[in-house]
Structure 1
Amino acid sequence: MSKSDKNKESADQPKGVNDILDEQISTAVYEYKRSNKRLFVSALSAGLEIGFSIFLMGILFTLFQGSVSNEILHVLISIAYPIGFIFVIIGRSELFTEHTTLAILPVLNKTRSIKSLFTLWGIILFGNLIGGYIIGGILVYFAPEIGIISNEAFIHLAHKVLDLPLQMIFVSAIIAGWLMGLLSWLVASSQETISRMFMIILVTATIGIGGLHHSIVGSIEVFTGLLIDPTISIIDYVSFEVISVLGNALGGVFFVGVLKYGQRRQHA
């Protein structure tokens, strides 16, 4: 068998649990070693890039609202949801909901401290939010002016994630965090870029169609609504963001980070 055939056979074989965890831990340790400035810039980039999900969802709402049923409109908008995640994850920018799972692994492995974990999370979350505010402000400023996104689209997207009791947002955010943690795991298990893109589309479209609450995408949705709709207050935004961040973190850390790490111990 030639070397190329061996490489192809290796690429076709799925990675084992320990192989994926070792890769995840190695990646996480590398992130811990990066300077705070580089982490922030990468996180800022992710916040900007994830905004293209809002951009495309807003365009589709504006184009099809009133001409198709609400159910079909919801599916169309949800199809647009993954685009920002593809830009972020394939482009290797730092997204908070990926790091809720990734960054906990070296802590469980006792190579990093809880303090360093919260520092890493804080830098990435802050960068993501600032990037989201920038892209959200840009979209609200220029998109209605050139007629590609209506103000109604921004208001619809904001109320879609806001108009639930906080306890329901929390549960929804836990499930979204769980799915994002699984996505990090699935991307690491995939050998090729096309496979990774498929996983990103599959998982994030599930979040979109399910109406689940993602703290970074949701931040932009509510922030753009806040800039336009006087019925949305800063208290609404802060309440939503705190609850969704906590839910995403809990879902990613426990249901994926802790359980998958426990799976490694069982395989050891």
Structure 2
Amino acid sequence: MSEDEHRNHGAEKREKDDAQVEKGHRPDALILHEIIRREGEEELRRTTLALSLSAFAAGLTMGFSLIVPGVLKGHLPHEPWAELVLSMGYSIGFLIVVLGRQQLFTENTVTPILPLLTDRTVASLMRVIRLWAIVLVGNILATFVIASVLAHTDAFQPEVRKAFAEISRHTIEDPFWTTVIKAVFAGWLIALMVWILPATGSAAPFIIILMTWLVSMCGLAHIVAGSVDAYYLVAIGEISFPTYVTGFFVPTLIGNVLGGVTLVSVLNFGQVVPDMEGNRRSDA
């Protein structure tokens, strides 16, 4: 082999090696930011009807985060390990919603916020508020529907409906500010899940189950999944609607937004700003 051929062979090998390294390299924070920012832009451009239907579907689907644990609780023995299994059942609703690309409010504390942080204008803020309002209303109305169906039909056996009530009582047992703090942690975990999902590839279902299992296992407060539980108590006449609003909805909403927006969106945006500015200077 001549010297030129040897040099060319070495260059080709380096290119192949570089390609393999690039393929196996985890995307850095700037790439994750750009993927999620573009997804946020797409969501902000969707029509009101599309967002409403997707949000309503997500709220109905989140009913499985009560149904599956309730069915498990109705059949499993009263042992300490059973609680860990019940917490795993909580993840089913999230798994369907996220993989099905349905609109869930807590996911939207990240995806539309990154476009807003990039383009900090009143117009961008109004687009985010519109998206939040549509998705939150759709999610919550759907939780009322599914909770009412569970409460007023015989679709599930009496012991399972009893388990629904027992599980649901945990959503309103804490004082206002304790619920806020628990909701901050829940919003933080769900937003982190959204942030890391683009880097997980085929492991996405495992990540969804893991992060949402932690939310349930730690007894944290999620505005949509918890709304199914809390409104179930309203539907069976155990609590009043004002108690649902003040004891669950308001503190959980505050905490989820704070956890998602400040602890994930703003902090992760902050870490990529220097890289973004560096790229702009390089392009110039």
Partner SS state of residue 62, structure 2: helix
Which sections of structure 1, spanning at least 5 residues, go unmatched? Answer: none
What is the percent sequence identity of the aligned residues?
30
8 A Cα contact 1:47 1:129, kept in partner: yes
Question: In angstroms, what is the RMSD of aligned CA positions?
Answer: 2.2
Deviations 1:127-171 (A, max 9, x none): 1112212222222233x4541753321221221111011110000
Counterpart in 1 of 2:244? Answer: 237
In structure 1, how many angstroms separate the alpha carbons of the residues matched to 2:59 and 2:22? 35
TM-fit CA distance, 1:8: 7.4
* Deviation (angstroms), 1:191: 2.4
AA matched with 2:139: N
CA distance in 2, matches of 1:228, 1:77: 22
2:90 corresponds to: 81
| Distance (Å, rounded) in 2 between the aligned partners of 1:258 and 1:222 | 30
CA contact (8 A) 2:32 2:196 kept: no
Q: CA deviation digits over 1:47-103, x for unaligned, max 9?
A: 111111111011011112xx322x333212101011111101011111000001111
Name the residue aligned to 1:171. 181
Question: Which of 223, 227, 231 is residue 215 of structure 1 equivalent to?
Answer: 223
User: How far 1:5 moved relative to its partner?
Assistant: 10
Note the C-alpha offset of 1:119: 1.1
Q: Give 1:233's aligned amino acid.
A: S
Q: Could you tell me which amino acid in structure 1 is paired with residue 255 of structure 2?
A: G
The code of the aligned residue for 1:130 comes to L
1:185 pairs, out of 178, 192, 195, with 195
TM-score normalised by L of structure 2 = 0.86
Distance 1:47 1:5, change over 3 A: farther
Structure 2 CA distance for partners of 1:128 and 1:35, relative to 1, 3 Å? same
Kept in 2, the 8 Å contact 1:157–1:222? The answer is no
Distance of 1:42 and 1:100 partners within structure 2: 16
- 1:119 alignment partner, one of 108, 115, 130: 130
2 CA distance for matches of 1:134 and 1:7? 51
CA contact (8 A) 1:11 1:191 kept: no
Q: What are the equivalent positions in structure 2 for 1:56-67 lying under 5 Å apart?
A: 56-64=68-76, 67=77
- What is the TM-score when the length of structure 1 is the normalising length? 0.90
Unaligned 5+ segments in structure 2 are: 1-11, 277-284
Count residues with an aligned counterpart.
261
Give 2:4's aligned residue.
Answer: none
The alpha carbon displacement at 1:126 in A equals 0.7
Q: Which residue of 2 aligns with 1:102?
A: 111
Asked if 1:34 is matched to 2:46, the reply is yes
Computing the radius of gyration over CA atoms, which structure comes out larger, 1 or 2?
Answer: 2
Q: Give 1:152's aligned residue.
A: 162
Q: Is the alpha carbon distance of 1:149 and 1:37 closer, same or farther for their aligned partners in structure 2, counting shifts above 3 Å?
A: farther
Checking the alignment, whether the CA contact within 8 Å between 1:155 and 1:229 is kept in structure 2 is no
